[in-house]
Chains A and B, each alone.
Chain A
Amino acid sequence: MHAATFSEATLEAMREEMRRDPTVFLMGEDIAKQGGIFGQFKGLPEEFGYDRVRDTPISEAALVGAGVGAALTGCRPIVDMHFADFITCSMDELVNQAAKLRAMFGEQCVVPMTLRAPDGITKSAGAQHSQALESWFVHTPGLEVVIPADAEDAKGLLKAAIRSDNPTLYFEHKALFPVKGTVPDDDDFVIPIGKAKLARDGADVTIVTYGITVSRALEAAATLETEGIEAAVINLRTLWPLDYDAIADAAARTHRIVVAHEAVRVGGVGAEIAAFLGEYCFDDLDGPVLRLGAAHVPVPFAPVLQEAMYPKAPAIADAARRLVRREI
């Protein structure tokens, strides 16, 4: 194992995969000369050349469309969206093309494209630079969605996404980039897509979560431990295909579930999880499945407003506490 920030971990992943497979190349805005606005592409053009690490004009539709076309014809492109919010400028290319070509064409092709999409609420970036849109793409058949919570996830999931033969969205929370962590030394370290990780074990309640909310849930669990409540925390890692087995096991073990994410609560991934629990794990539940997520509003600019509208550790702890105490 060695120390690395989240950002460095993604850089290691790309470097290793580009060395391993000459068909892997990168394109996006401000990645080659600037090295990415979070430094996550630093040094790559120097090693692999500006043909394999390409700056594009501000043309998201062409960026993603060309990514799909290259993926169809023998390459493994990594397309960087700059901010996940700009996926909206390439929705046809992602939803109508990338997600559907294999299915429509009767499995004649694969679309092994990876889309890096920095997302999430941070630093008063405002409504158009703060979104978490993963549930849109969980809802779109044909796409894979992965979402790392720490440096180890960042590396293992990005390598998995690049190696995957499916179009994979890689949502990386902007506030995680500088966070330090540890990653394995093995350059073949890949986290399997579709498997959740038990980040913390516990018998009283399970917090099912992903991305940056994992660290908030672990903080909540530490608080709860001082109160004699043992909370398990599941880091989903992949949102599609969702690890339904891990979720069902949690219900069978602790009978009390809190689902938490930073994305909007209404129609979020938490809603799919809660519905699944109600439908397939009904008899395991000792209380309602609680969901925490951002309010159904565009993310406001003023810091005090921004901080008021999404769940952090105290809210997660409170939900778990009330569920265990049977106050809800």
Chain B
Amino acid sequence: MAKTLPGGVDAARLERGVALLRTMVRIRVLEEGIEKHFLAGDIPGFAHLSIGQEAVAAGTCANLRRDDAIASTHRGHGHTLAKGTPMRAMVAELFARSTGVCKGKGGSMHIADFSVGMLGANGVVAGGFGLVAGAALSAVQRKTDQVAVCFFGDGATNRGPFHENLNLCAIWNLPAIFVLENNRYASTTSTAETMKITDVARRADGYGIPATIVDGFDAFAVFDALADAVARARDGGGPTFVECKTYRARGHFIGDPERYRRKGEVEDVMSASDPIVRMQAMLGEALAPDDFERIWVEARDEFADAVAFARASAAPEPQEAFFGVYAHDREPGDPVHRIEARERDALLPFAPRVGSGSQGSGH
């Protein structure tokens, strides 16, 4: 339901709103573009889209510094873009190019950008909890005021590391923030089937961690909740749990037949709650239609440029498969280097030939 803020929108609010909107639109354009290119065969592996959840990424990351850490899930494109990774580096990574942010070695499920504190999308559900607990612990050890944010879904809260790490962060009062994107589905199982409770935030109570529940379609609401959580963490107040009620507008992965939800459910939810439409409505007349349009055009141009960049980039050299695993393993004197070089020399003659300049992907 669209809502106009009473009393108009002040300049600071407008500026923040436009910034959040821009991030959400860029994420939407990126995700729709990835969907299209994945179906066209340009992207190997799996891809998990976060369409519908843009407000959580945008609202959270707007509160973070470059040197704050985030850990993400297998559905991490939005978090990565919102944290500050250039679209070119992201698209090149998904297209398996050597110019990708992970040199083509991670792909969608393991995309990471340590230059902006993005500790990686993770192919293991609940893989991020330990990393964030550790990053928060690291800040305490090094006596900085950095914070660490863990994005995760409802499914992750049923795994052991969720419980162990929340407990650890609570007892050690670590500057960790747990942002749950409760999109109602974990792969093909709905939350109704996999837990007795409706509000997952109640689980945080079990560990003594303060928790709030917000409308995950409302980027302002997310922003405000995270502002409090970040301030608490930086001030040494310990962890916070923020449950964002949101929705996954696409299947679990691209190609998911989505047998677990009623046809039309997506339509119903998105027509009522699309976070981009929401923000546009909240800004109301303060945002001119042309300006709104311009945000979309710029985002689309940015994406098209990113695709062109990816297409023009080279695939990684086959022998790259053998190095970059251990620190220093590219140095000839390193003991691992010699072993990997021997493995490469033993195996490479039998590797299938890759044509130069080819797309190198697709199935």
Contact = CB atoms under 8 A, between A and B. Distances in A.
Interface of A: 23, 25, 51-52, 54, 56-57, 59-75, 77, 92-93, 96-97, 101-110, 112, 141-142, 144, 164-166, 192-195, 238, 241-244
Given A65-B161, A110-B327, A194-B335, A93 B130 contact: yes
Contacts of B167: 57, 59, 62
Given A23-B142, A70-B141, A241 B335 contact: yes
A97 B131 contact: yes
Interface in B88-122: 100-106, 110, 112-115, 119-120, 122
B112 A104 contact: yes
B133 A65 contact: yes
B130 A103 contact: no
Contacts of A142: 325-326
Given A69-B134, A70-B135, A241-B339, 13 more contacts: A61-B161, A62-B133, A62-B168, A69-B119, A72-B138, A75-B142, A97-B127, A101-B120, A104-B105, A104-B120, A106-B100, A194-B335, A241-B336
A160 to B, nearest CB: 12
Contact of B165 (A62, A77, A166): A62
B230 interface: no
Contacts of A195: 335
A52 B138 CA distance: 11
26 contacts: A23-B142, A61-B130, A62-B164, A63-B168, A66-B168, A68-B134, A69-B71, A70-B134, A70-B137, A72-B135, A72-B138, A73-B69, A73-B139, A92-B124, A93-B161, A97-B127, A103-B324, A104-B120, A105-B102, A105-B112, A106-B100, A109-B112, A109-B114, A142-B325, A194-B335, A242-B339
A195 to B, nearest CB: 7
Interface residues of B, number: 52
A105 B110 contact: yes
B132 A69 contact: yes
A25 B131 CA distance: 16
A243 B335 contact: yes
Nearest to A62: B164
B178 interface: no
A105 B140 contact: no
Which of A75, A77, A109 has most chain B Cβ within 10 Å?
A75
B160 A61 contact: yes
A89 to B, nearest CB: 8
A73 B134 contact: yes
A66 B102 contact: no
Contact of B130 (A56, A69, A166, A193): A69
Nearest to B107: A104
Nearest to A58: B164
B105 A66 contact: no
Given A96-B123, A142-B326, A69 B135 contact: yes
B129 interface: yes
A108 B112 contact: yes
B161 to A, nearest CB: 5
Contacts of B13: none
A105 B114 contact: yes
B326 A62 contact: no
A247 to B, nearest CB: 12
Nearest to A241: B335
Nearest to B328: A165
B181 to A, nearest CB: 20
B235 to A, nearest CB: 18
A144 B112 CA distance: 23
Interface string B124-160: 1001011111111111111000101000000000001
A51 B326 CA distance: 29
Contacts of B135: 69-70, 72-73
